[in-house]
Amino acid sequence: MPSAQSIARAQAFRRLHEGAQPLVLVNAWDAVSARVIEHAGATAIATSSAAMAWSLGHPDGEQVPREDFIAACARICRVCTLPVSVDIVRGYGRDTDEVCTLVRALIELGVVGINIEDGVARDTRRLLPPDTLCERVAALRALADAMRVPLFINARTDTYFAKYDDPEARYRDTVQRAQLLADAGADGVFVPGMDRIDDIARFTRAVRLPVNVYAGYAGVPAVGELAAAGVRRVSLGCGPLQSALGLLGRITTEALEQGRYDAQCAGMLSVAAVNGLFQPGPG
């Protein structure tokens, strides 16, 4: 069963969705990125499924072997003192029982929140029906209650990544899915791709769950603007790793083509600073 520390972190993570300002999550992909984010002043750690998959040598979309995924989450939980939420994509399972088995293992590691999504069909880019996600959310709510941990279930719908012929129909479907997910036991709703402030403000008024906005690309309104529109959570997703990889590319090009190291040395952490993230322990 979860420890008293895990339960306290789960309760703290819930409260972060109720503050005066949105919870801003700079998403991590491994233990050292999680510690850098924590050391920089974050109040919680959340993983990015895409960034974690890339760091483990796989494309996004539940391509990581389950045991490798759990091991990566274990390393993050081991080094962090903050609440940890994990993106499990559609659940890394062929059915609801397998998804529950995965989430039970994560809760036992100390994970206090999850993201789980409906997704789109790869061939048609049409959104999958909400039934499966609602079933999994309900089962995970029951599992968390049985384990006596207030797991925060952030349910994601990909309506704004799917193919729709009518923008208004897309919006109505998003609201309907959010209502179904709330009824199933979700604690928050995540709609990546919804980035027009008018749509966001209308959506936050229409649903009863805290709304999560994805800010992993240019053009998304700033946190203050999102807060005024009623947003309770902002996730950078795989954007931080994409940015870090872009820097790595520039470092490589500069060294190979110019024989210089300026990009590498500008703002780099010292060896002592990085070691200090882990020795004698986090904090």
pLDDT digits (tens, 9 = 90+) for 173-223: 999 999 999 999 999 999 999 999 999 999 999 999 999 999 999 999 999
Confidence of residue 168 (pLDDT cuts 50, 70, 90): very high
Rounded to two decimals, the pTM is 0.95
Burial-class residue 207 by CB neighbours within 10 Å (0-12, 13-18, 19+): buried
Give residue 282's pLDDT. Answer: 45
Give the span between the Cα atoms of 102 and 87, in whole angstroms: 12
pLDDT digits (tens, 9 = 90+) for 112-141: 999 999 988 777 778 889 999 999 999 999
Give the span between the Cα atoms of 194 and 203, in whole angstroms: 10
Give the span between the Cα atoms of 134 and 129, in whole angstroms: 10
Average model confidence (pLDDT) across the chain: 95
Give residue 281's pLDDT. Answer: 52
Give residue 121's pLDDT. Answer: 77
Give residue 255's pLDDT. Answer: 98
Rounded (5°) CA angle 43-45-47 = 155
- The answer to whether 223 touches 234, Cβ cutoff 8 Å, is yes
3-state secondary structure of 87: strand
CATH tag, 4-238: 3.20.20.60
Give the span between the Cα atoms of 95 and 116, in whole angstroms: 13
Fill in the DSSP letter of residue 258.
Answer: I
Give residue 283's pLDDT. Answer: 43
Enclosing H/E stretch for 213: strand 211-214
The DSSP secondary structure of 120-143, one letter per residue, reads: B-TTT-PBPPSHHHHHHHHHHHHH
User: What percentage of the chain exceeds 70 in pLDDT?
Assistant: 99
Report the pLDDT averaged over residues 11-34.
Answer: 97
Token output for 273:
């600073």
